Amino acid sequence: MLSDLTFGQYYEAQSFVHRLDPRLKILLLIAFVVFVFVANSFYGLLSLALFLLLAIIFSKVPFMQMLRSLKAVLFIIIFTVVLNIFFYNSETETILFWIITKEALIFSAFMAVRLITLVMASVLLTYTTTPVALTDGIESLLKPLKIIKFPVHEIALVMSIALRFIPILMNEADRIIMAQKARGADFESGNLFKKVGAMIPVLIPLLISAFRRAEELGDAMDSRCYSSAAKRTKFKKLKLGYRDLVATVVSLIAFSAVIVLKIYGVAVI
């Protein structure tokens, strides 16, 4: 049931995108999200979608596996589209059916494409970056905040543990659900309230398991004399290479296209 939740999972491969510096991938994702909201036309989103498609191809992650990541947010996408269809207001409205206008349909499609690109770009980052590399990248980017005594290492450690626990807890939840189904539990039939009530026997043992794993992890760290105050070194040092330069140039071309289309292009409506 939870196999479609792909955030936090890592797809092991030897690809161009996998070998990129994690700091660059994080910065590119942030820039991608910003420019997705900057784009005000389908042409701008198309340039970003082509850039994302190119990244997926070079990452060697199966495209169908990327599409499966949308199942987790499919309800949000549909809900957003429906709201925009019925509640979008524009100065010039062309009514197609009842209160549904042409402008509302165009804007709803625009929002759907925007949400899809955002989700797939975020999932691609976790698919192509190990939790350790992602944590090292975040810690390196936040290092200047140490000047103001910001707990950079502690924040990075918490994020690393959280990312590692996502797939573990999903697998644990799947095992609990299968065990409950074997005992006759029904998670499919009934209305929304019955389905929510049926999940209670899953959530309670899942929370107990999560607390037990957290306690075991804390004991393991204490037994190894872990201290966040100690000056720590890295086994693998992050270094920028020629791949990062190529990725930066291609990204700048895609982002520049969005700016040019925003200035000289036509808005979505």
- The DSSP result for 216-234, as a single string, is HHHHHHHHTT--TTS----
pLDDT of residue 255: 92
Helix boundaries (H) for the chain: 22-38, 42-59, 63-68, 74-87, 102-128, 131-141, 152-182, 192-198, 200-223, 242-264
pLDDT tens figures, 23-80: 999 999 999 999 999 888 888 888 999 999 999 999 998 888 888 888 878 888 888 8
Chain-centroid distance, C-alpha 14 = 21
pLDDT of residue 269: 53
Residue 151 CB coordination number (10 Å): 13
Phi-psi region of 217 (alpha: psi -120 to 50; beta: other; left: phi over 0): alpha
pLDDT of residue 54: 93
pTM of model > 0.85: no
pLDDT of residue 57: 92
Alpha-carbon gap, residue 5 to 1, rounded angstroms: 9
Alpha-carbon gap, residue 161 to 211, rounded angstroms: 13
Alpha-carbon gap, residue 141 to 24, rounded angstroms: 10
Alpha-carbon gap, residue 142 to 132, rounded angstroms: 15
Distance in angstroms between the alpha carbons of the first and the last residue of the chain: 39
pLDDT of residue 263: 82
pLDDT along the chain (269 residues), means of 10: 59 88 92 91 89 92 85 83 77 60 82 90 89 84 83 80 78 83 74 72 84 87 76 74 91 90 70
Count the residues in the chain.
269
Annotated domain spans of the chain: 1-147+238-269, 152-227
Coil, strand or helix at 96:
strand
pLDDT of residue 251: 92
